[in-house]
Amino acid sequence: MSELDFSFFTMEVFRSYVLKGLYFSVALTAVATAGGIFFGTLLALMRLSGVKALEIPAVIYVNGMRSIPLLMVLLWFFLLVPMLIGRSIGAEWSAIITFIAFEAAYFSEIMRAGIQSIPRGQVFAGQALGMSYGQNMKLVILPQAFRNMLPILLTQTIILFQDTSLVYIITAHDMLHGFSIAGANLSHTREAYILAAITYFVICYSLSYLVKMLQKKIAIIR
């Protein structure tokens, strides 16, 4: 077996092959996080509404999505949607829509736990002040729930960033795809995948460390 040679990986190689993919991975993470939190919060409120017409569809959606591997959802959307609408929407848009739809189910459970962690006395206090259900949620419950769940939300975002590597299977140009192309074109496939793993580790470990620091800071404030 030949020795590993990482000398091929220069700044020029990084800019030419990996940088565009890194941008897409970060953008996909940001958009999927924002969309997932937004729709996840709506799903959480539906589940906690006590209205069966809202609660049951939310339960079915959340439990259904959480029971299917992300890779399968990604492939189904990428392969089946073009057949249904008669045209392709591209690998990148397939990835964006799939990740938002999938992550909404996970963020929904995080938000539901956050909302339920708020003492009922806060809800009753808002009602005593004459607040409607929507006002109570918007002004009293959700701000506290977001603060309580912020470390978990950020941790889920880190996991989401790791999961973006799955879009490689539908040929979306993410960071892993960039490393793969660099390795194939420059005849250093093994080294390229090792460097990809190291890059993911460094990014995710650094972010995890920051989340731990934030968690300690929030604990002190409390």
Q: Give a yes or no: residue 183 inside a domain.
A: no
Percent of the chain with pLDDT over 70: 96
Q: What is the dihedral of CA 31, 34, 35, 39, to 10 degrees?
A: 170
Q: In whole angstroms, what is the distance from residue 204 CA to residue 208 CA? A: 6
Q: Which domain CATH number covers 37?
A: 1.10.3720.10
pLDDT for position 158: 94
Question: Token pair for residue 33?
Answer: 């996080």
pLDDT for position 103: 95
Q: Give a yes or no: residue 204 inside a domain.
A: no
Residue 166 belongs to what domain range? 22-171
Q: In whole angstroms, what is the distance from residue 65 CA to residue 45 CA? A: 17
Q: Give a yes or no: residue 215 inside a domain.
A: no
Q: Give a yes or no: residue 17 inside a domain.
A: no
- pLDDT tens-digit series, residues 19-38: 999 999 999 999 999 999 99
For 132-147, what is the mean pLDDT? 78
pTM, whole model, 2 decimals? 0.87
Does residue 37 contact residue 107 with C-beta atoms inside 8 Å? yes
Higher pLDDT, 96 or 82: 96
Q: Give a yes or no: residue 178 inside a domain.
A: no
Q: In whole angstroms, what is the distance from residue 160 CA to residue 26 CA? A: 10
Task: Please state the domain count of the chain.
Answer: 1
Q: Give a yes or no: residue 92 inside a domain.
A: yes
The model's confidence at residue 2, banded by pLDDT at 50, 70 and 90, is low
- Predicted confidence (pLDDT) at residue 220 exceeds the cutoff of 60: no
**Per-residue H/E/C for 79-147:** HHHHHHHCCCCCHHHHHHHHHHHHHHHHHHHHHHHHHHCCCHHHHHHHHHCCCCHHHHHHHHHHHHHHH
Does residue 94 contact residue 79 with C-beta atoms inside 8 Å? no
- pLDDT tens-digit series, residues 151-181: 888 999 999 999 999 998 998 999 999 999 9
pLDDT for position 87: 77
